[in-house]
Amino acid sequence: MTRLSAYLLPTEKQPPADAEAVSHKLMVRAGLIRQMGAGMWTWLPAGWRVHQRVVGIIREEMNAIGAQEMLMPVLQPAEVWRKTGRLDIEALFKLTDRKGSELVLAMTHEEAVTFHIAQTVRSYRDLPQILYHFQVKERDEARPRAGVLRTREFIMKDSYSFDRDQAGMEVNYELHVGAYDRIMDRTGLRYYRVEGDVGMMGGVGAHEYMAPCAAGEDEVVLGEGYAANVEVAATSPGVEKRGEEYFRDGEQLTREPAIEIGNIFKLGTRYSEPLGASFLDETGAEKPIWMASYGLGPARIVAAAVEQFADEHGISWPKALAPFAVHLVTLGKPGTPERDAADELYDTLKAGGVEVLYDDRDLGPGEKFADAELLGCPLRLTVGRRSLESGEIEVQIRRGRAQAPGLPLGGDSAELLRRLDKLWQSLD
């Protein structure tokens, strides 16, 4: 159901009073998300379509490197977290059930996946493995803010590689680097892959994927052939901090705010040893499994896209992420020739496999156009009295609000779809 008269898209003229980030303001105003409590957000239908666009891209690239999708629980026994020394993490939600058993709400799944690997992997022949899932994470965030950028509950893609030794871990790590780079390229985001800090995850190395934008709470330090977050830059060999500025081999480095949208960690045996995940090698000797983990946040990718491409009129989606390819607007009231022509066009587009949102509401042109620009679908098609007179559908490209050559109205459907596809392929 993609007629706006029956679609849940509650647009707003004004942003929430507490909103500062562009993505927070526009995603609420465009009817994509709604807040239930501090750091708790509901994805409404159009917003969920965008979120699932990102999930689809991620899933394709993960499958392409041989990763296997699964699903692990959010609610977990506290004991495995105690064994890894992470039960005392302040942001970890902890609770007890009616029998008094200690439980946690997982903020990441290293413990869970290693628990299963310890039970199932016995021999070097069982390795390597790459497992992943999309799952809700819970985090007792001290200061939820900026809409879906910093929340207490969110969906994350986390994957985990298991290998016989460090060399194998490095191979799978590089496979993920390639997959993440392709994911970022396909979303259309500007991004940096920077050296990161292992933090609470532990291990022997990490990288972060950063999307530059003003709303970002992180900062990246950049130079010729160098990129790192500020924490890593401060301790990097050859990097010197003078006041608030950073220098590397005499070159002044630039600083830029950014959103962290993904991170990857070389964990080594950090989790396999305390949880007993080992295997027997070719000689029969028992050895710990080498691990790495890889996180990616679909919601943060969505918000970063809003931040990077919005203008003063609303959102302007990269075409890979847009909730709909086409926003069709009719300027005719029910029973008029222009409404009949728009209805027929809607049916043609649907039959041709075009993802279209049809604004058939009984509202004025100004309100309809404002909502179309706010939602930010890549193409807007308008059918009104002028279309009947000229025989052409009016076309606007959302990025830059540029007028495109009109499309034929009421003629050969195949020709219309061919020309529309050609226009779609020409978009950034």
- The three-state (H, E, C) secondary structure of 186-240, written as one string: HHCCCCEEEECCCHHHCCCEEEEEEEECCCCCEEEEEECCEEEEHHHHCCCCCEE
Q: Is 255's pLDDT higher than 60?
A: yes
Residue 327 near residue 359, CB atoms below 8 Å? yes
Q: What is the reported pLDDT for 204?
A: 67
Which of the pair, 245 or 197, is modelled with greater confidence?
Answer: 245
Mean pLDDT on 255-274? 94
Q: With residue 28 as reference, give the H or E element that holds it.
A: helix 22-29
Q: What is the reported pLDDT for 234?
A: 82
Mean of per-residue pLDDT scores for the chain: 94
Burial grade of 115 (CB within 10 A; 0-12, 13-18, 19 or more): buried
The DSSP code for 317 is -
Tell me which residue range forms the domain holding 200: 4-309
Q: How confident is the model at residue 226 (pLDDT cuts 50, 70, 90)?
A: confident
Q: What distance lies between CA 239 and its chain's CA centroid? A: 32
- Give per-residue pLDDT as tens, 160-169: 999 999 999 9
421 lies in a domain? yes
Q: What is the reported pLDDT for 158?
A: 97
319 lies in a domain? no
Q: How confident is the model at residue 235 (pLDDT cuts 50, 70, 90)?
A: confident
Q: What is the reported pLDDT for 218?
A: 87
CATH of the domain at 349: 3.40.50.800
Q: How confident is the model at residue 215 (pLDDT cuts 50, 70, 90)?
A: confident
Q: Is 201's pLDDT higher than 60?
A: no
Question: Are 205 and 114 within one domain?
Answer: yes
Question: Are 290 and 344 within one domain?
Answer: no
Question: Are 246 and 395 within one domain?
Answer: no
Distance CA 298, CA 105 (A): 20
Burial grade of 224 (CB within 10 A; 0-12, 13-18, 19 or more): exposed
Distance CA 420, CA 4 (A): 22
Question: Are 284 and 338 within one domain?
Answer: no
Question: Are 127 and 225 within one domain?
Answer: yes
Residue 296 near residue 180, CB atoms below 8 Å? yes
CATH of the domain at 104: 3.30.930.10
226 lies in a domain? yes
Distance CA 44, CA 210 (A): 26
Residue 3: phi, psi to the nearest 5? -85, 125
Mean pLDDT on 127-147? 95
3-state DSSP call for residue 301?
helix
Mean pLDDT on 105-111? 97
270 lies in a domain? yes
Q: Is 196's pLDDT higher than 90?
A: no
Question: Are 159 and 235 within one domain?
Answer: yes
Q: What is the reported pLDDT for 351?
A: 95
Question: Are 230 and 349 within one domain?
Answer: no
Mean pLDDT on 182-206? 82
228 lies in a domain? yes
3-state DSSP call for residue 106?
coil
Question: Are 305 and 342 within one domain?
Answer: no
Number of folded domains that form the chain = 2
Q: What is the reported pLDDT for 243?
A: 86
Q: Is 216's pLDDT higher than 90?
A: no
Q: What distance lies between CA 223 and its chain's CA centroid? A: 27
Question: Are 123 and 74 within one domain?
Answer: yes
Q: What is the reported pLDDT for 257?
A: 92
321 lies in a domain? no
Look at residues 263, 280, 309 and tell me which one is the last residue of a structural domain: 309
Q: Is 289's pLDDT higher than 80?
A: yes
Q: How confident is the model at residue 199 (pLDDT cuts 50, 70, 90)?
A: low
Residue 253: phi, psi to the nearest 5? -90, 150
Q: What is the reported pLDDT for 203?
A: 60
Look at residues 309, 339, 359 and tell me which one is the last residue of a structural domain: 309
Question: Are 178 and 279 within one domain?
Answer: yes
146 lies in a domain? yes
Q: How confident is the model at residue 308 (pLDDT cuts 50, 70, 90)?
A: very high
317 lies in a domain? no
Question: Are 78 and 222 within one domain?
Answer: yes
Look at residues 309, 338, 372 and tell me which one is the last residue of a structural domain: 309
Q: What is the reported pLDDT for 217?
A: 84
Mean pLDDT on 216-223? 88
Question: Are 353 and 255 within one domain?
Answer: no
* pTM: predicted TM-score of the whole model, two decimal places: 0.94
Mean pLDDT on 196-204? 64
- Give per-residue pLDDT as tens, 357-413: 999 999 999 999 999 999 999 999 999 999 999 999 999 999 999 999 999 998 889
